Amino acid sequence: MTPASTPSPETSAASAAETSAGRRGRRGGGRAARQATRAQQGGASAAFITRKIPTFDPFDEEQLATIEANAETVLADIGIEFRDDPETLDIWRAAGAKIDGQRVRFEKGMLREIIQNSAPKQFTQYARNPARSVEIGGPHCVMVPAYGPPFIRSQAEGRRYATIEDFRNFVKLAYLSPGLHHSGGTLCEPVDLPVNKRHLDMVYSHIRYSDKPFMGSVTAPERAEDTVEICKRVFGADFVDQNCVVINLINANSPMVWDDTMLGALKVYARNNQATVISPFILAGAMSPVTVAGTLAQILAEAMSGVALTQLVRPGAPVVFGTFASSISMQSGAPTFGTPEPTLVLYGAAQLARRLGVPFRSGGGLCASKVPDAQAAYEAANTLQNAALAGVNFMLHAAGWLEGGLAMGYEKFVMDADQCAMIARLLEGPDLSENGQGLDALREVGPGAHFLGCAHTQANFEDAFYRSPLADNNSFEQWQADGAKDISARAAESVANLLASYEAPAIPVEVDEAVRDFVAQRKAATPDSNV
């Protein structure tokens, strides 16, 4: 598969044509109406999931209390390092923490109190299309594509470095996927663009090629500032100051270290009232103890230190307790996914976050496989199913992830998005209405007959069962007649069809121009650099 070619945002003629078309659509309603119809055709097209079944909470009170006590011990006795960032040390000093060089120690209970005083339990991330805004926290779950891979993989091209064209393709695929509620962030690294400027094209692409909410740049404080400036041009400066319009991934340098890059981005976003996802990034056994309970104590300590910092920077700033926890192969040191110990870490972290009272982020379709084979799917499903039951609110890496996050897979992306849509149905729970109980059907049909033609089935069959666009459920003979394709081959066709069918959502031309002007000005102001 060669993804359909798309105009670069730098190509004014093409972009202007699209923008103009979008504007006509908004006025005339023709294109917008078609788009709305299409979005609903996908099935589970709600803007986010609201679960109606409980979370699964396998840790008991005593286990959780022990882990919480151990996290407080880590914070009080060992402490956390905040590196190369005197301003952050000043913030901690003013808050009453003990500073020893770059090491900061916290009295037991101090961070929990800071967090519970002001961090919101739930917040709205606004999308430029209000119908796409998402609720983060509480009973809600937002499915977000994978983040960060420098490579892409497709059936046609194999594995190669990603480009901005790939990036735009994944924005479009996320936009077209009813199972995904978010445009994500660094869907892949556009390595064809200079490091110090690619964030401008990434953020612009999210805004221009989708109307779902998105993630900002964190690779330098000034790139975070650029992200906020772009958001002001889309949403208005006052709105941005009072509402969350961008969410941003702040990874700890585990164990127990925050570096100046992440701290710089954290402070920019918190000051601007934008959301941060404070995520210990852990390969257990290398970056944390080799046990579930030890890893959880460290995760809680690290997460609390970052979450509390956001609240000191700006009380009430939206923030998410994140975790990315995998284990390593103790033979090779390689990260492993979908295995039972990280699943237990995930369940424990979700319970700890709920007790802390903040939204929770964890991973979706993680895997170590290099290709979208059965290994990839077992591992991805093991992660996604358990994360959904655990009550993850912000499911990052829900689609596309291959090779431990080094590659974004075109076919894997649409396969995972299908799984995400299934999760939405699962979390809806059972329907116990009179229609859901179906007693009339049982009375009408009776022993030994079949239900296919009965009135209840006829009234309900269209929505009764989730329909996968990728699974082949036909007979062996029919499957052979259709070319004996495996799901990767069918997914490759789906990717090509989706990209060919893509139409950009409408955007006000003045908004598009304002963002493009800002991007052009920022690009002109600095020489290209790959640092």
207 to 236, contacts with its own copies by CB under 8 A?
none
Minimum CB distance to its own copies, residue 431 (Å)? 6
Q: CB under 8 Å to 63, separation ≥6 — which residues?
A: 293, 348
Of residues 416-435, those binding its own copies (CB under 8 A)? 419, 422-423, 425-426, 428-432, 435
How far apart (Å, rounded) are the C-alpha atoms in residues 456 and 410? Answer: 40
Q: Which is nearer to its own copies, 133 or 288 (CB)?
A: 288
Answer yes or no whether residue 399 interacts with its own copies by CB under 8 A: no
Minimum CB distance to its own copies, residue 493 (Å)? 14
Answer whether 322's CB lies under 8 Å from 279's CB.
Answer: yes
Answer yes or no whether residue 39 interacts with its own copies by CB under 8 A: no
Minimum CB distance to its own copies, residue 31 (Å)? 29
Of residues 329-348, those binding its own copies (CB under 8 A)? 329-336, 338-341, 343-344, 348
Minimum CB distance to its own copies, residue 59 (Å)? 7
Of residues 145-174, those binding its own copies (CB under 8 A)? 159
Q: Which of 85, 226, 403, 512 binds its own copies (CB under 8 A)?
A: 403
If you write DSSP's letter for every residue of 34-46 in order, what string do you get? HHHHHHHHTS---
Minimum CB distance to its own copies, residue 117 (Å)? 26
Q: Which of 19, 47, 68, 80 binds its own copies (CB under 8 A)?
A: 80
Answer yes or no whether residue 389 interacts with its own copies by CB under 8 A: yes
Query: Cis omega (within 30 of 0) on the bond before 255?
Result: yes
The tokens for 529 are 């650099």
Of residues 40-79, those binding its own copies (CB under 8 A)? 53-54, 56-59, 62-63, 66-67, 70, 73-74, 77-79
Q: Which is nearer to its own copies, 92 or 126 (CB)?
A: 92
Minimum CB distance to its own copies, residue 38 (Å)? 19
Q: Which is nearer to its own copies, 32 or 470 (CB)?
A: 470
What mask, x for binding its own copies by CB under 8 A, covers residues 84 to 103? Answer: -------------------x
Answer whether 361's CB lies under 8 Å from 277's CB.
Answer: yes
DSSP 498: H
Answer yes or no whether residue 437 interacts with its own copies by CB under 8 A: yes
Minimum CB distance to its own copies, residue 310 (Å)? 20
Minimum CB distance to its own copies, residue 130 (Å)? 28
- Tokens 């976003």 locate to 269
Closest by CA position to 111, among listed 301, 277, 354, 317: 301
- Map 45-90 to HEC letters: CCCCEECCCCCCCCCCHHHHHHHHHHHHHHHHHHCEEECCCHHHHH
Q: What are the φ and ψ backbone dihedral angles of 462, each rounded to 5 degrees?
A: -65, -40
Minimum CB distance to its own copies, residue 447 (Å)? 4
Side-chain half-sphere CA neighbours of 130 within 13 A: 2
Answer whether 416's CB lies under 8 Å from 366's CB.
Answer: no
Q: How many residues bind its own copies (CB under 8 A)?
A: 128
Of residues 488-527, those binding its own copies (CB under 8 A)? 488
Answer yes or no whether residue 466 interacts with its own copies by CB under 8 A: yes
Range 371-377, long-range pairs (CB < 8 A, 24+ positions): 371/153, 371/402, 371/409, 371/488, 372/153, 372/402, 372/409, 372/411, 372/412, 372/415, 372/487, 372/488, 372/491, 373/488, 376/402, 376/409, 376/412, 377/415
Ramachandran sector of residue 484 (left: φ over 0; alpha: ψ -120 to 50; beta: rest): left
Q: Which of 472, 493, 503, 513 binds its own copies (CB under 8 A)?
A: 472
Q: Which of 124, 196, 327, 362 binds its own copies (CB under 8 A)?
A: 327
Of residues 234-273, those binding its own copies (CB under 8 A)? 253, 255-257
Side-chain half-sphere CA neighbours of 348 within 13 A: 26
Answer whether 288's CB lies under 8 Å from 261's CB.
Answer: no
Q: Which of 436, 483, 524, 527 binds its own copies (CB under 8 A)?
A: 436
What mask, x for binding its own copies by CB under 8 A, covers residues 356 to 385? Answer: ------------xxxxxxxxxxxxxxx--x
